[in-house]
Amino acid sequence: MADQCTHVDMVKVIQLPEPLLGSEDCLKTGDEWVHLRMCLTCGGIRCCDESPNRHATAHWHQSDHPLIRSAEPDEDWAWCYVDELDLMFEPG
């Protein structure tokens, strides 16, 4: 595990979409989610690991996009799956 995230150069999107409709994959399958996460590389919105389908983690495994941020109101944290680090950022 690294002391610093080595993937910050992969951040391409930090602004949440408006309107935020829900987890893209859960909406397609009619499933429910607990919390929403946004991929900081492609901007996709997916469900958290507390949700039954864990779509955000599945997206990382399928795409190699290692950084997500919370898509929940008033939360400003991000996570790097590879380096297993919390990241703070200024939402833009």
pLDDT (tens digit, 9 = 90+) per residue, 42-86?
Answer: 999 999 999 999 999 999 999 999 999 999 988 889 999 999 998
Would residue 50 count as lying in a domain? yes
Would residue 3 count as lying in a domain? no
Q: Which domain holds residue 82?
A: 8-88
* pTM of this prediction exceeds 0.85: yes
Domains of the chain: total: 1
What tokens were used for 51?
A: 């949700």
CATH number of the domain encompassing residue 68: 3.30.40.10
Would residue 65 count as lying in a domain? yes
User: Who contacts 63 (Cβ-Cβ below 8 Å, separation ≥6)?
Assistant: 39, 41, 42
Would residue 18 count as lying in a domain? yes
pLDDT digits (tens, 9 = 90+) for 17-46: 999 999 999 999 999 999 999 999 999 999
Would residue 1 count as lying in a domain? no
User: Who contacts 57 (Cβ-Cβ below 8 Å, separation ≥6)?
Assistant: 49, 81
Would residue 12 count as lying in a domain? yes
Would residue 2 count as lying in a domain? no
